[in-house]
Amino acid sequence: MNFVDKSKVGFAFGAFFGLFHAVWAILVWIGWAQPLINWIFGLHFIQPPYTIGEFYPGTAIFLVVVTTVVGYILGWVLAACWNWFHKN
């Protein structure tokens, strides 16, 4: 089994997590987040228990930065575990 580059996997996970949350922040900003979350809960037969709060640019930036960093760390750890379990 091939080894994977921990940094590349970390960057891929970080980019995915960050982009996902950037899209979420944009949905909150344009007012589409509440209908979306209501629809998603409805698909799961759940009465929507949450109300989406007001958009704050600083909070949105912090959300994207934190989730990108966490995504990088998770990807790096996953790749390290993969490499460790697939030693010859």
> Looking at residue 53, what is its pLDDT?
96
> Looking at residue 18, what is its pLDDT?
98
Q: Which of 11, 10, 18 minimizes the C-alpha distance to 61?
A: 18
> Looking at residue 87, what is its pLDDT?
82
Report the domain count for the chain. Answer: 1
Q: 61 in a domain, yes or no?
A: yes
CA distance linking residue 83 with residue 73, whole number of Å: 15
> Looking at beta carbons, which pairs linking 49-57 to residues 24 or more positions away fall under 8 Å?
52/28, 53/28, 55/25, 55/28, 55/29
Q: Which residue ranges in the chain fall short of pLDDT 70?
A: 1, 88
Q: 1 in a domain, yes or no?
A: no
Q: 67 in a domain, yes or no?
A: yes
Range of the domain at 17: 6-47+54-85
Q: 27 in a domain, yes or no?
A: yes
Q: State whether residue 47 is helix, strand or coil.
A: coil
Q: Which of 1, 17, 5 minimizes the C-alpha distance to 79?
A: 5
